[in-house]
Structure 1
Amino acid sequence: MPTEETAPPVTAFMLIKTQPEWLAMTPQERLDAFTGQVLPAIEARTSGVRSRFYDTEFYSTRVTDVWVWEADDHDAYQRLIDALRETPFWDRYFEIVDLLVGTENGYARTYGFDPVATVTTAPARAR
């Protein structure tokens, strides 16, 4: 029985910079704003999206955070962005510096190759 091929997930690396309004809030106010304003908008408008958040302000002044969003498909990703744009997240709490969107191992699917990936282990520490 042939297997049905599904579209690969869409991964978006959202490079953002915090804005003064966000930084003026206490940490609890930031959590309340995110869980009270941003998350409900996402949950109401889309499904099939997951996120991870990385702080980069220790190493960069242009980009303070990288938010990685994985969506089941392009439609779910588009609904996510539409939802975010209707909240204070977009251009009020954060400046969207850049969006880098792709699919993992796209070259391998295009050319029928097995994906190439690396796995390394930490070298033994000298004592």
Structure 2
Amino acid sequence: MPTEKTEPPVTAFMLVKTTPEWLALSVQERVDAFTTRVLPAIEAKTTGVRSRFYDTEFYSARVTDVWVWEAEDHHAYQLLIDALRETPFWDRYFEVVDLLVGTENGYARTYGLEPVATITT
């Protein structure tokens, strides 16, 4: 039985820098802003998206946070970016410094190879 070929998930590393407007908010105001203004916009516009957040301000002056977005396909990723651009997240609370978008082990799929990865225990 043939298997349906599916598009690999899209991973975006969004490098951002906090703005003075974001830093002027209290911690609770930041949580409220994210949960009432950003998350609802994402949930209304797309599905199949997951996020993780990393603080980098301890090590970088140019990038304060890295947000990792995983989308089930390119369309879900595009909808995510469209949704974020319609919120104060984009250019009010954070400056988007760079977007690094890729698919995990793309080389392996291209050349029909097993992915090379490390696992330590």
- Distance in structure 2 (CA, Å) of the matches to 1:100 and 1:21: 25
Q: Kindly indicate whether residue 21 of structure 2 is the aligned counterpart of residue 21 of structure 1.
A: yes
- Distance in structure 2 (CA, Å) of the matches to 1:35 and 1:62: 26
- Distance in structure 2 (CA, Å) of the matches to 1:44 and 1:2: 35
Q: Kindly indicate whether residue 72 of structure 2 is the aligned counterpart of residue 72 of structure 1.
A: yes
Cross-structure match for 1:61: 61
Structure 1 unpaired stretches of 5+: 122-127
Q: How many residues align?
A: 121
Q: Give the match's secondary structure for 1:75.
A: helix
Q: Kindly indicate whether residue 49 of structure 2 is the aligned counterpart of residue 49 of structure 1.
A: yes
Q: Give the match's secondary structure for 1:108.
A: helix
Aligned-residue CA RMSD (Å): 0.5
Structure 2 unpaired stretches of 5+: none
Cross-structure match for 2:86: 86
* Percent of aligned pairs with the same amino acid: 83
Higher radius of gyration, 1 or 2: 1
Letter in 2 for 1:2: P
Deviation at 1:120, TM superposition (A): 2.1
Q: TM-score when scaled to structure 2?
A: 0.99
- Distance in structure 2 (CA, Å) of the matches to 1:36 and 1:25: 14
Q: Give the match's secondary structure for 2:91.
A: coil
Over residues 28-81 of structure 1, what are the superposed CA-to-partner deviations in whole Å (9 max), with x where a residue is unaligned? 000000001000000000000000000000100100000000000000000000
Cross-structure match for 1:34: 34
Cross-structure match for 1:102: 102
Q: TM-score when scaled to structure 1?
A: 0.94
Deviation at 1:4, TM superposition (A): 1.1
Q: Which runs of 4+ in 1 moved over 2 A?
A: none
